[in-house]
Structure 1
Amino acid sequence: MSEPRETKNLDRYGDAELPWSRAEAALSTPAGPEITHFLGTCRPDGTPHAAGVGAQWRAGHFYFTSNPTTRKARDLAVNPRCTISARLDGIDLVLEGTAVRVTDAETLEGVAADYRDGGWPCQVEGDALTAPFSAPSAGPPPWQVYRFTARTVVGVATREPYGATRWTF
């Protein structure tokens, strides 16, 4: 992800703005089972939907999977705008952006390899992933892969140095 084009200090207690490098370092640390990423989408009728996803940060984007029949995949097919939020090491982040389906073999192979490194034995089959199991919220196989691109990120530090900052890309 490139450097932010705008940074705004949101802290009301006198703390300095947080550097983007702090958020990026937290995003780049491989997520273990104690970290859950939450995807927020919008149903066609305008009501919100949230689901935990096994997201991974690769080259400045989040990647996650879903069966095309799940609520989140149907929502993204109509409206790609969404959020991903997580409590990471030392910082809570909410990212606003868009998610689009990825089908190119090189990206799918890289995402699958990263998931395998994390313990999920998936493989590329056609333009999606398959495995003997997945999270219940992902629906049955095959699982399509989505790339999330952030436009705005809000971070709140949960340990010193404290602060709250919004980065716009």
Structure 2
Amino acid sequence: MREPEGVLDARYSSEGTSAHDWSEAEKVLTESELFWISTVRPDGRPHVTPLLAVWHGGALHFGTGPGERKAANLAGNPHVVLTTGTSSWTEGYDVTVEGEAVRVTDDGRLRELAAAWEAKYGPFWHYEVDDGCFRHGPGRALVFAVRPRKVLGFGKGEPFSQTKWE
């Protein structure tokens, strides 16, 4: 699989800046601990909340309890935006991923993801896999994959940049 080619948006970039490599965005997606997910409520209002996510196999994966607002929103509209990066204006690299959240139910794939979660976040986030879900103590989590349709990378501090991958 070849890497996506980034396109610089000069309107939001410092003069003389070039598009960033996909590897830089992928590094942020792999290493970031906290992500913010935006979903849409049934009445059209946005819903934003922090969560943990794992970049694995070319997709961002996250979990949510079946009774949570995210799960209800996704049942009606699977389109999401996941955002991560730093909260600094003068340094760092922020990344947004737009796509469709698709439920992962295959137990074999869920076991791979459970191992990836624990490798990234430590033993507190050890999940068992049961009947197409993650289990953590008495709780159950639905797992979703988001294959990016569009990714934006924002370089902060001089030089500022905005790179788009589709």
Provide TM-score, normalisation by structure 1: 0.83
- 2:139 aligns with 141
Q: Distance in 2 between matches of 1:58 and 1:161?
A: 30
- 1:23 aligns with 25
157-166 vs 110-119, greater mean Cα deviation: 157-166
Encode CA deviations 1:3-43: one digit per residue, 9 max, x unaligned: 336624243421212222211222233x4xxx310110001
Alignment of 1:70-149 (within 5 A): 70-87=68-85, 90-117=92-119, 118-119=121-122, 120-132=125-137, 141-149=139-147
Q: Distance in 2 between matches of 1:144 and 1:96?
A: 20
Gaps of 5+ in 2: none
- 1:13 aligns with 14
Q: Which amino acid aligns with 1:9?
A: D
**Is 1:4 the counterpart of 2:4 in the alignment?**
yes
Contact 2:99 2:149 (C-alpha < 8 Å) held by counterparts: yes
Q: Distance in 2 between matches of 1:8 and 1:159?
A: 16
Q: Which amino acid aligns with 2:19?
A: E
Encode CA deviations 1:65-93: one digit per residue, 9 max, x unaligned: 11111111111111110100001693101
Encode CA deviations 1:105-154: one digit per residue, 9 max, x unaligned: 1110011112222221211122111113xxxxxxx721011111111111
Distance 1:144 1:44, change over 3 A: same
Gaps of 5+ in 1: 133-139
Q: Distance in 2 between matches of 1:106 and 1:160?
A: 45
**Is 1:155 the counterpart of 2:160 in the alignment?**
no
Q: Distance in 2 between matches of 1:24 and 1:17?
A: 14
Quote how far apart the aligned CAs of 1:161 are: 5.8
RMSD across aligned positions (CA): 2.2
SS in structure 2 of the partner of residue 143 of structure 1: strand
